[in-house]
Amino acid sequence: MLVLVAPGQGAQTPGFLSPWLELPGLADRLSAWSEVAGLDLIAYGTTADADEIRDTAVAQPLLVAASLAAAEALGATPDLLAGHSVGELAAAALAGVLTPEQALGLVRERGQAMAKAAAVTQTGMTAVLGGAEDEVLASLDKHGLTPANVNGAGQIVAAGTLEQLAAFKEEPPARARLIPLSVAGAFHTVHMAPAVERMRQAAAGLTPADPHTRLLSNADGQVVESGAEILDRLVTQVSNPVRWDSCMETMAGLGVTAMIELLPGGTLTGLAKRGLRGVRTVALKTPDDLDSARELLK
């Protein structure tokens, strides 16, 4: 059983789209999507520096477009789909809930709304690797932080104000390693509440279809069969934690045997190697990875 997964914000790196533009038709596709996103996706994916693509309003449309383009180049028919945070919009499009253009229009609003919300208060996110989960969660609670991403495989992402994160750094949980993330705000927390209403307004003009492929939700890791419910979850997801651990538990329960992570891959396959032992994985980073991914389909 194959699951196709789309990564979230932070997976982007300068120039990651460059080798993909050599594939037939991909540059034309990205040019058309640039019109929808209101951004020059090709420029941002090839010549922009790390600071430019760290901008939430840029990173989110860029990531969704990259995942959709890579899925088109791969041409696989998965048994299951999932996306981490903003990657869930790419997964929803691949499941037929939204068209690619609708997903890119919605993620444009999402990125702008979340960037605006992040500008209200100086906030950030820190990955917590290792440590006992109950001790990590207790420490986050003590410092007023939110477990914004519960990723499984011994990884939780803490989110909150920079002051809260600084205090947390001074008193980390036992046996845990802290890694500040290159994101512009405390995503999937109450700090993003102002963005939910803008997302709701943008989603109100869409008529989603029910998914043609099983799609997992970040909210609880469950398969959601209603397009309307998926769209509602995409809206509220902005200020709610991502439960990727639950998504991986469902993957294991359904009998997933192979995972392909769409461009720019690496993060989710890394989690799978620790949280889904025995599942074969391929991360799409360059077009050279397409052959390995197609071998996985045989």
Active site residues: 85, 188
Return the percent helix, strand and coil in the chain, to nearest 5.
50, 15, 35
8: left (phi over 0), alpha (psi -120 to 50) or beta: beta
CB–CB of 6/100 below 8 Å?
Answer: no
Cα angle 289-294-296, degrees, rounded to a multiple of 5: 100
Return the half-sphere exposure (C-beta side, CA atoms, 13 A cut-off) of residue 34.
Answer: 13
Beta-strand relationship, 146-152 and 155-161: antiparallel
CB–CB of 231/109 below 8 Å?
Answer: no
Residue 62 amino acid letter? L
- Sign of the alpha-carbon torsion through 55, 59, 61, 62: positive
Residues 115, 233: Cα–Cα separation, whole Å: 20
